[in-house]
Every structure is written in structure tokens, then in C-alpha cells.
Amino acid sequence: MDWINYHHLLYFWVTAREGSITRASEKLKLAQPTVSGQIQSLEKSIGERLFLRQGRKLTLTETGRLVFGYADQIFTVGQELVDVVRNRPTQGPSRVKIGVADALPKLVACRVLEAALEDPEPSHLVCREGKPEELLTELATFGVDMVIADAPIPPTVKIKAFNHMLGESPVLIFGRSDLCEKFAPGFPESLDGAPMLLPTENTTVRQHLDGWFDRHEVKPRIVAEFEDSAMLKTFGQRGLGLFPAPEFVESEVCRQYGVQSIGTLDGVREQLYAITIERKIKNDAVLRIIEHARSRLATLRGAASATPA
């Protein structure tokens, strides 16, 4: 029977978590050549490379991600064993790390992730916001368990991961009451020349909006563009322009910002994806979040289709 040297595995695990041999050696209180040599011994025993060096940063190979997943389970169970023997409490909320794409509206992210906190056994939720490419790199090195985004994995990102479609929501146009009174009649043609607050051009929803405007020969007067969706809505709250938001969070947008919707842009959809390393999800907390989001979006679509014209 082939045996793994668990000291070698521990040094690999710590290095993968820390992201560099320098930080791992500091944490382990060992010399860098010792840590490096132990990892090389593990690679030799497995017969596969576990790390690739990209500049000063180490990234896990596909085999490295697989080994890390097992190592993480092994050492987590090992810590639980020590806790049990020493009569320490071991029960507590499971920790789930979620990366949220910065272009995703904060209200949408909240609706998607609240399942982790509403469950009878709630998870300890850790949210990280960033650019999709940065978050997907963290996903590949197990820095996060899942990424929530408004688009699938872009072709420029070379990692092995899987898209899980959560659903989609129609996009509505919102505004303060005075703007709605002015531009609601004749909607959507009335948007031609209307003051508009939009997401920046690098966002998926903006690309859909620009396509809609072109197809309908509508040219709004773009007052400002925002990467931060909350700031966009705050400007809309002050009556500085109309703005788009998904129907998924219509009630929250109206209540929180004191605005109202004037109509739906037919054919424009805000899409939601969960991106994970695993095709078949094993993390219970991640699975509950995905199922919850799909259920709510399905309920929304059902309610919308049942609404009389």
C-alpha cells in the first residue's frame, strides 16, 4: 500500500493556504528550504506537480487543487479530533467563503446569500468583493468556495471551473416620482433624451442595455456612469436621472431609495451565475445558497407571468 507522508502534506497545505513558501515558513517556523524540499518530496511521491510559479506567486495545478481539497478535509477533521479529546466544543456554524463580483447589485447579492443565514443551522458567511477575474483566481486556489457573478466564466480566464445558472430577472427602469411622471407616458420611447444613470461599459448589464437602446433607436442622455450599483441608486434617489435595476429586487429598491418603476425593458435580463470548482457541489452551505436563489428567481418569474397584461 502506498502511504502519504503527512508532514509533507501539512507543509503543502499551509503553503497553499498562505499563497507562498515565505509566509508558510513563517507560520510553520521552519526555514524556507525545508518547506520547499518537503513539498518537492510530496510531488515526487505523487508523481505530479502541485504548484506553478507565476512571478512571485504560487498557483495550484489541477492536481494541486485536488490534493488541497483532500488535505483541507484531513486537517480539519484532525483539529476536530483534538477538540473532542480535550473536551472543547466542536459544534459551530460552518464557514463558507463567497466571492461577489463587484458589478453585481448589492441588493441582488444580499437576496442570493441570505439563505446561508436563514437556515436552521446558519453558516458563518465570509463575503469578498472584487473583479471577477481576481475572484476566479481565488476560487482556483480555494480562497473562496463559490463566486457569484452576472456572467459565466470569461474565455480569457484559464481555470477549470463550472457555471451554475441561478436564473435571470427582467430589468426595470426606476426614478424619483417627478421623473416618473414626466417619462412614464409613452414608455419606452419616452427614454429618448431622458436623463439616465447607467452602469459602466465594462459590465454585462450595460452591454445588454446599449444593445436595447440601439435596437429601439432610443438615445438617453447619459448623466453619469457607475461601477458601484449602490452609488448609482443613491444618485437616482436624489432625482438626478432614471436608472435600471432587476425586477428581482424591485420592492427593496422602491422602499430603500424612495423611487418607483416606470416600465420593463423587454429582452434585457440580469443574469445570475454561481461558479464553483466542482461540477457536483458537495459543500452543503453552497448548495443551499444555490437552491435558495433558484427557488426565489423561479417564484419571481412565475409571479410575473401570472400578472395580467
**pLDDT tens per residue across span 82-140:** 766 666 555 556 678 899 988 888 888 888 887 677 766 667 788 888 888 888 888 88
**pLDDT tens per residue across span 242-301:** 999 999 889 999 999 999 999 999 989 888 999 998 788 877 778 888 888 888 777 655
| Rounded distance between C-alpha atoms, residue 266 and residue 208, angstroms | 11
**pLDDT tens per residue across span 50-60:** 998 876 678 88
Q: How many CB atoms lie within 10 A of CB 33?
A: 10
Secondary structure of 57-87 in HEC code, one letter for each residue: EEEECHHHHHHHHHHHHHHHHHHHHHHHHCC
> In the structure, what pLDDT confidence band is assigned to residue 196 with cuts at 50, 70 and 90?
very high
Report all structural domains of the chain as residue ranges with CATH numbers, in order of start: 6-85 (1.10.10.10), 95-167+272-305 (3.40.190.10), 168-269 (3.40.190.10)
> In the structure, what pLDDT confidence band is assigned to residue 2 with cuts at 50, 70 and 90?
low
Q: Are 120 and 169 in contact (CB under 8 A)?
A: no
**pLDDT tens per residue across span 203-229:** 888 999 999 999 999 999 999 999 888
**Residue 306 pLDDT more than 60?**
no
Mean pLDDT of 21-34: 90
